[in-house]
A and B are shown apart, each in its own frame.
Chain A
């Protein structure tokens, strides 16, 4: 057996352990935990803290991490968050776990400051340096870490099979998963079962995390990939079958391991291959299962009905309708009057981001689609703009420059081109995932985003060793926007225009169609609405806005760097937008401003070790959505309308019986 098969088997085993945890928690509570990767990270950091910082030996560190810390973490997260999500609308369910994905690593770095720096050669469950054994029968060398992984996977599989198949607890768990309602009337305490499954699921994530660190290090990206592979494996198992999930994870691991032998040691093909495997596997499975026609990838309702959104009160009409937006616009344009130069720059970043954030308003807010690819689309806009503006070449292909005799395009057309290029990419994602409901769309877009990141963003022409491409300020219609104030006013004007378009999109027939689709796709289809067209339109519009916002943001900060648009930043953006209201353009503006201003304030007034506090707050905000999914702006506006004796009421819903 060649070494790379073993390596693939080891990697696959780690992914399998993690994926089992994901499926277990999904089965018991119908919540796909996008924070699964970061819970693994949290447990791995805790283990490293005990083992390395506190000097405990391996066994007690592992025992405390996996049997005490991880279950306690799982129980805590279940009690404060996941418990509320089972009956929540899909968007809330998704955004709240995204919030946790944002908040948890920030919390970990605050509690364990050593994890802020780079961790060199973390120790797993085997002592370092790992001893190597040679198995002459198989002609392969295996090190102690790999043995630990394989042993861990076997223990997990045997243990879980025995627990689920042969014990009363296992029977009760399977019964609760199968039909919570019947389980309750059979005398099973389903709450206890769900809590238990979150404890076990978190422990499995933690075990995967600890096993992963000596192989791939204790870094963010690896845990994102752990999440994506776990999700892909879970899709193989249709989010419910433990054996199929396990097999899926092993296969992905094996492909990754064996490919090492065939791929060149360096280059885009190699870096792009890893994230593309889970994506391709996921996509193939989704298509295959759909082709078999046995599965509609919609939210499973076995846990009971999902809360329906209570309609918002009607907005004011006539001149009243202009009052709120008018105040916001006046406040925005008057910023240069009461802020100094430096802060105008900071606020400019916020407004540029606000334009970008309108992409979420359109695709998730209006379209009701859960997309994790928007930051990537913004990155495409920013990078294409920058590439055109500096050297007029993309992917080594020289683009003719019809606008001027110099090398680079003028910024105006470059921005437009960047935004336009984002559209077909967005449509590609949309068309791949049109028939995928809710959470599966989020999975596919996440995998696609990672793919683009590794295949396109990592190219040297964009990355430039992490520095990105430098950009100047534009000259439009003969006006030079080089000074801060005029550029700020330009951004503010662009925001107002795009926001107006977004609001009008909502009021137009398209908006009605999207609203109908949000409340029930089937019902919308029966009224003759073309769901496909509406979805594509929403995706196209949101892609254009993302590209535009990405370009403007890059120009504002003076460089287009792939690092500004990675998946992890994208989820922080989504979290903060969702907190303030994913359906409100004012929410997007507030979110953009806060995202730019708060970290700056923290950096100026608080010690450096507090750098993660803003991220933590942004994540916690999104977690708070479990209470009011429509965000803070909605709550405030609704409360004032109510106070003025408006017709609107904020009805509290509770899940109906049965």
Chain B
């Protein structure tokens, strides 16, 4: 087995006196896709935030591409090729669509290749090209998520941490988002996927982990996760 691209080991996250994660471990191989599942408040977003550099781990290590990046600030991780799309729309509402893309492409793309990267972004989502001068805040929710994905497709990162990208979107737009994610994977992007659409997530990922109350309660092939989840939700009263 090859060296994992991302390996999280024994991660603890605390907010003041409340602890959100207890010793969670997860690995993402290069080009692989891992789904993180679990009920509300299980710590899925805390895990994403800690890996993405938005929450400071209280314990454990995070290694990315063979380097210890525990506690690194978000902007440094981004420059390393780790793209984190936080829950909610991670856009700049008052900047134009074009400016949004220019900000996003500035760090991952060398200066000479930026124009080409912009073209790739607009190729991926032509609607964005039509709206390039419009403030991003005036886009629809789906278009805003396309904006987030466009950056991923135009300058593929090594790892994408997608936190509930389909949240609050119409089913037809969710379709588009998953298409985008699939396209990113074909470009060689590894994905850590946090999703509420469990079936879609499991169809997309090879492996999955299940979190409950801040602890990892299961990990294995995505195919087997569904039965495990049902057991978790319905069967086990004590941990419910």
Q: Min CB distance, B157 to chain A, in Å?
A: 10
**Is B104 close to A, CB under 8 A?**
yes
Residues of chain A lying within 8 A (CB to CB) of residue B99: 171, 174-175
Interface centre among A181, A183, A654, A658 (most CB of B within 10 A): A658
Q: A175-B95, A185-B83, A651-B17 are in contact. Are A658 and B73 (CB under 8 A)?
A: no
Contact with A along B88-100 (1 / 0, CB 8 A): 1011111100010
**Is A178 close to B, CB under 8 A?**
yes
Contact B54 A184 (CB under 8 A): yes
Contact B75 A658 (CB under 8 A): no
Residue of A nearest to B108 (CB): A187
Contact with B along A623-658 (1 / 0, CB 8 A): 000000000000000000000000000011110111
**Is A179 close to B, CB under 8 A?**
yes
Contact A182 B79 (CB under 8 A): no
**Is A396 close to B, CB under 8 A?**
no
Contact B75 A190 (CB under 8 A): yes
**Is A530 close to B, CB under 8 A?**
no
Contact A181 B103 (CB under 8 A): no
Q: Min CB distance, A94 to chain B, in Å?
A: 23
Partner of A187, one of B17, B54, B106: B106
Residues of chain A lying within 8 A (CB to CB) of residue B102: 171
Residues of chain B lying within 8 A (CB to CB) of residue A185: 52-54, 74-75, 78, 83-86, 90
Q: Min CB distance, B146 to chain A, in Å?
A: 15
**Is A406 close to B, CB under 8 A?**
no
**Is B16 close to A, CB under 8 A?**
yes
CA distance A184 to B91 in the complex (A): 11
Residues of chain A lying within 8 A (CB to CB) of residue B93: 178-179
Residues of chain A lying within 8 A (CB to CB) of residue B108: 187
> Between A and B, how many residue pairs show CB distances below 8 Å?
89
Q: Min CB distance, B182 to chain A, in Å?
A: 22
Q: A171-B103, A656-B15, A657-B46 are in contact. Are A184 and B74 (CB under 8 A)?
A: yes
CA distance A384 to B70 in the complex (A): 65
**Is A290 close to B, CB under 8 A?**
no
Contact with B along A60-79 (1 / 0, CB 8 A): 00000000000000000000
Residues of chain B lying within 8 A (CB to CB) of residue A225: none
**Is B87 close to A, CB under 8 A?**
yes
**Is A519 close to B, CB under 8 A?**
no
Residues of chain A lying within 8 A (CB to CB) of residue B125: none
Q: A178-B94, A184-B54 are in contact. Are A657 and B75 (CB under 8 A)?
A: no
CA distance A191 to B92 in the complex (A): 17
Q: A181-B86, A187-B79 are in contact. Are A653 and B16 (CB under 8 A)?
A: yes
Contact A657 B49 (CB under 8 A): yes
Residues of chain A lying within 8 A (CB to CB) of residue B74: 184-185
Q: Min CB distance, A4 to chain B, in Å?
A: 38
Interface centre among A174, A184, A658 (most CB of B within 10 A): A184
Contact B16 A181 (CB under 8 A): no
Residues of chain A lying within 8 A (CB to CB) of residue B229: none
**Is B55 close to A, CB under 8 A?**
yes
**Is B107 close to A, CB under 8 A?**
yes
Q: Min CB distance, B79 to chain A, in Å?
A: 5
**Is A141 close to B, CB under 8 A?**
no
CA distance A248 to B50 in the complex (A): 44
Contact A187 B107 (CB under 8 A): yes
Contact A186 B103 (CB under 8 A): yes
Residue of B nearest to A308 (CB): B16
Q: How many residues of A contact B (CB 8 A)?
A: 25
CA distance A174 to B102 in the complex (A): 12
Q: How many residues of B contact A (CB 8 A)?
A: 34
List B25-52 residues whose CB lies under 8 Å from chain A.
45-46, 49, 52
**Is A482 close to B, CB under 8 A?**
no
Residues of chain B lying within 8 A (CB to CB) of residue A116: none
Residues of chain B lying within 8 A (CB to CB) of residue A657: 15, 46, 49, 54-55
**Is A189 close to B, CB under 8 A?**
yes
Residue of A nearest to B89 (CB): A182
CA distance A185 to B53 in the complex (A): 8
CA distance A505 to B55 in the complex (A): 41
CA distance A527 to B122 in the complex (A): 50
CA distance A184 to B90 in the complex (A): 10
Contact A168 B106 (CB under 8 A): yes
Residue of A nearest to B15 (CB): A656
CA distance A36 to B145 in the complex (A): 40
**Is A247 close to B, CB under 8 A?**
no
List A148-182 residues whose CB lies under 8 Å from chain B.
168, 171-172, 174-175, 178-179, 181-182
List B145-189 residues whose CB lies under 8 Å from chain A.
none
**Is A287 close to B, CB under 8 A?**
no
Q: Min CB distance, B97 to chain A, in Å?
A: 13
**Is A188 close to B, CB under 8 A?**
yes
Q: A168-B106, A171-B103 are in contact. Are A184 and B92 (CB under 8 A)?
A: no
Q: A183-B103, A187-B79, A658-B54 are in contact. Are A178 and B85 (CB under 8 A)?
A: no
Contact A184 B103 (CB under 8 A): no
Contact B73 A189 (CB under 8 A): yes
Contact B87 A188 (CB under 8 A): no
Q: Min CB distance, A502 to chain B, in Å?
A: 31
Contact with A along B106-139 (1 / 0, CB 8 A): 1110000000000000000000000000000000
Contact with B along A187-214 (1 / 0, CB 8 A): 1111100000000000000000000000
CA distance A175 to B55 in the complex (A): 21
Q: A174-B95, A175-B95, A181-B86 are in contact. Are A186 and B73 (CB under 8 A)?
A: no
CA distance A562 to B108 in the complex (A): 62
Q: Min CB distance, A163 to chain B, in Å?
A: 15
Residue of A nearest to B83 (CB): A185
CA distance A658 to B75 in the complex (A): 15
Residue of A nearest to B111 (CB): A168
Partner of A186, one of B15, B53, B88, B107: B107
Residues of chain B lying within 8 A (CB to CB) of residue A190: 75
Contact B75 A187 (CB under 8 A): yes
Q: A188-B75, A652-B16 are in contact. Are A182 and B49 (CB under 8 A)?
A: no
A interface residues (Cβ-Cβ under 8 A, vs B): 168, 171-172, 174-175, 178-179, 181-191, 651-654, 656-658
9 contacts between A and B (CB under 8 A): A171-B102, A175-B103, A181-B54, A183-B103, A186-B103, A190-B75, A657-B54, A657-B55, A658-B86
